[in-house]
Copies of this chain bind each other. A is one copy, B any other.
C-alpha cells in the first residue's frame, strides 16, 4: 500500500498505534456523521489520487418561482424524488452506479425506502453492462456492506418479506473496510467483486 505522495506505507507498531487512535476518534465522531458525508469524502480521495471518478447526483428540485430582482433567487421550489440513484461515475472505463442507505435495524435492511424507479434504473444499468450495487450501513453494528444490485432487485421483485436479511449481506456482500483516508475503502470491495 502506498500513500498519495508515493511513500511506501510502513506498518510499524508506532504507526499502527496512531492509526488506531485515529480510528477510535473517528468512530466516536462518526456517530454524528452521515454515510453520505463518508462516501463524498472517500470519492474526493479516490478522485484526487487518480483511482476513480465518482460523483453524487444533485438532488432534483422542481422550481416554481424565481425572483430576478437581485440576481436569480429561487423563492418557491420543492424536492423531487430521485428517479435514479445518488452516485455514478467511471472506474477503469466501466460505468459505476450505486445507491447508499442506512438502517438502524440489526437483522435486516428494509426495502421501503427504495423506489420502484430506482429498481428500474438499476436493472437498466446492469442490462447495459454497467456495475450496479448498494452500499448499506448497519448503524447499530458499525458495519457497512457493498451488495450487488441484482440481490436487491431479486428481493424487491420476488422476496416474501419487504426486507433483505442481514445474513444475505454477510454471505453475498463485501464488508467495506472503514479507515481514516479514505473513510470507506469501497473500491477494495469493487475490485474483489467485479475486477478479479
Contact = CB atoms under 8 A, between A and B. Distances in A.
Interface string A108-138: 0000000000000100110111100000000
A50 interface: yes
Interface string A79-96: 100001000111111111
Given A53-B128, A94-B95, A76 B74 contact: yes
Given A58-B57, A58-B59, A79 B72 contact: yes
A162 interface: no
Interface in A39-69: 47, 50, 52-53, 55, 57-61, 63
A67 B88 CA distance: 30
A91 B128 contact: yes
Contact of A130 (B53, B57, B61, B73): B53
Contacts of A52: 128
A78 interface: yes
A188 to B, nearest CB: 17
A71 interface: yes
A77 interface: yes
27 contacts: A53-B128, A53-B130, A57-B57, A58-B58, A58-B61, A59-B61, A61-B74, A61-B77, A71-B78, A74-B74, A74-B79, A75-B75, A77-B77, A88-B88, A89-B95, A90-B95, A90-B97, A90-B125, A90-B129, A90-B130, A91-B128, A92-B128, A93-B95, A93-B128, A93-B129, A94-B94, A94-B129
Give the 3 A-B residue pairs with the shortest CB-CB distance, closest first: A93-B129, A90-B95, A58-B60
Interface of A: 47, 50, 52-53, 55, 57-61, 63, 71-79, 84, 88-97, 121, 124-125, 127-130
